């Protein structure tokens, strides 16, 4: 359709020019003494058009000849850039495929282009790191330092490499340089979190975990693990100083105190500091919501609380949570502390029937020993020792295994009977 339209336009133009020239009767006289040339106006116009086209073509050819070296140079630069781009692309693909030697070799071919040299150096540095070639890796990073456009990427690469080489201080220094330049992105926070965990900067770990949670940039299980680890380390680091333990607990938000591992670590820290009242409140609040055998096991150690009061709480928990072996064991220990021997033996026997355990049997042996029942004590101690080793742990003599029959020899094999003849 387009060709038909252009054909109509050309034909119309030709018809118009022909009609215009038909109505023109003028002459053009050219005087060049002693010569005189007379031309019609139509012929003069055609000659001028032909001369114009000829000059235009001539100047175009001349301009192309003069610009030929520049065009050749641009062509070579374009080919070189395309080759460098292809090398960088193939290098990235090889890196993602795990072919690190090929990735480094291909990245070297992209250094010819200044715009791609920094990126190629970083790809080669990461490839050398994967191949455990620190000297080559450092040379590639030094090459990337000369390119200002990849400064942020180089810093992040240096931080990742420092973490892989277990140099968290250098990783934090590189991340700090990135933040000074105004870049504070999620990956930098993740790297900083890993570095602070390795250095044991638990306050910073908590701060980074909370920042990542606000941005939905960390999974809940990973955040829980980091948070619990940091809080337990802070509580353990407080030692047995009551003021230090209180200060650490006051800085922990209420939702984080309800975490099972944090509650357990808090109770242990308070026990070390002698703050039994505060520890008892944590245990009571936790056991009102869930059953925690480890917290129950610590309940008898809270000697700062009256023994009868602790027994009453434990019996209430027994009514709430049922016959739980740790709870029965704790009640037995509490009754022993209050010299309620009958109830103590009852609870310990119930705990032993619920889940036979070496510790429960050892406690029964100790109680019988205190009550002057040496035969029962010896029996329970023996049962405790056997339970501790397990059924297969203690053998006076090795178990005799049934001997396998010896393999048949060639002489003992049945003879091969000949086939019957025809």
* Class of residue 233 by CB neighbours under 10 A (exposed 0-12, middle 13-18, buried 19+): middle
- pLDDT 10s digits, 201-260: 999 999 999 999 998 999 999 999 999 999 999 999 988 899 999 999 999 998 888 899
Give me 112's structure tokens.
């010819």
pLDDT-based confidence at residue 32 (cuts at 50, 70, 90)? confident
CA distances from 293 to 185, 260, 347, 420 (A): 42, 11, 16, 81
pLDDT at 313 over 50: yes
Give me 121's structure tokens.
């150096």
Residue 394 has a pLDDT of 55
pLDDT (average), residues 23-27: 70
pLDDT at 422 over 50: no
Instruction: Determine the angle formed by the axes of helices 260-273 and 276-289, rounding to 10 degrees.
Output: 160
Give the start-to-end residue ranges of the domains of the chain.
76-138, 306-389
90: Cβ contacts below 8 Å, ≥ 6 apart: 106
Residues 114, 43: Cα–Cα separation, whole Å: 59
CA distances from 400 to 392, 397, 407 (A): 14, 9, 21
- pLDDT 10s digits, 140-197: 999 999 888 898 899 999 999 999 999 999 999 998 888 766 556 788 899 999 999 9
Residue 410 has a pLDDT of 47
Residue 417 has a pLDDT of 37
pLDDT-based confidence at residue 356 (cuts at 50, 70, 90)? confident
pLDDT (average), residues 311-330: 91
The second-level CATH assignment, the architecture, of 306-389 is Alpha Horseshoe (1.25)
The residue among 97, 137, 132 whose CA lies nearest residue 121 is 137
Neighbours of 337 (CB within 10 A): 14
Residue 411 has a pLDDT of 46
Indicate left, alpha or beta for 185 from its phi (over 0: left) and psi (-120 to 50: alpha): beta
């Amino acid at each position: 359709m387009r060709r038909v339209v252009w054909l109509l336009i050309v034909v119309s133009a030709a018809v118009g020019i022909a009609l215009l020239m038909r109505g023109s009767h003028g002459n053009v006289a050219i005087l060049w003494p002693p010569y005189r040339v007379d031309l019609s106006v139509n012929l003069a116009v055609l000659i001028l058009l032909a001369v114009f086209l000829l000059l235009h073509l001539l100047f175009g050819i001349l301009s192309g000849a003069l610009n030929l070296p520049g065009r050749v140079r641009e062509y070579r630069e374009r080919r070189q850039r395309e080759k460098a781009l292809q090398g960088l692309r193939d290098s990235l693909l090889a890196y993602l495929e795990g072919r690190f030697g090929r990735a480094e070799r291909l990245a070297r071919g992209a250094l010819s282009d200044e715009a791609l040299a920094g990126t190629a150096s970083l790809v080669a540095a990461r490839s050398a790191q994967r191949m455990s070639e620190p000297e080559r890796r450092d040379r590639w990073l030094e090459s990337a330092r000369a390119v200002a456009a990849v400064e942020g990427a180089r810093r992040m690469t240096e931080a990742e490499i420092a973490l892989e080489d277990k140099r968290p201080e250098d990783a934090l220094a590189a991340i700090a340089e990135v933040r000074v330049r105004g870049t504070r992105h999620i990956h930098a926070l993740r790297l900083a979190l890993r570095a602070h965990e390795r250095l044991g900067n638990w306050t910073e770990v908590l701060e980074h975990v909370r920042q990542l949670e606000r941005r939905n940039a960390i999974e809940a299980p990973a955040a829980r693990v980091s948070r619990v680890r940091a809080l337990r380390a802070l509580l353990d680091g407080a030692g047995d100083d009551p003021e230090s333990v209180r200060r650490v607990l006051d800085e922990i938000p209420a939702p984080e105190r309800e975490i099972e591992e944090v509650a357990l670590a808090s109770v242990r820290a308070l026990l070390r500091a002698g703050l039994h009242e505060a520890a008892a409140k944590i245990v009571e609040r936790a056991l009102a919501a869930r059953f925690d055998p480890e917290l129950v096991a610590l309940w008898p150690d809270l000697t700062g609380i009256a023994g009868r009061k602790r027994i009453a709480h434990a019996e209430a928990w027994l009514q709430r949570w049922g016959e739980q072996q740790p709870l029965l064991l704790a009640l037995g220990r509490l009754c022993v502390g209050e010299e309620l021997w009958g109830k103590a033996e009852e609870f310990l026997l119930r705990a032993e029937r619920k889940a036979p355990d070496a510790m429960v049997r050892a406690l029964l042996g100790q109680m019988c020993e205190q009550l002057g029942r040496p035969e029962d004590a010896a029996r329970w101690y023996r049962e405790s020792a056997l339970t501790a080793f397990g059924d297969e742990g203690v053998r006076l003599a090795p178990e005799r295994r049934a001997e396998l029959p010896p393999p048949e020899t060639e002489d003992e094999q049945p003879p091969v009977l000949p086939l019957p003849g025809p």
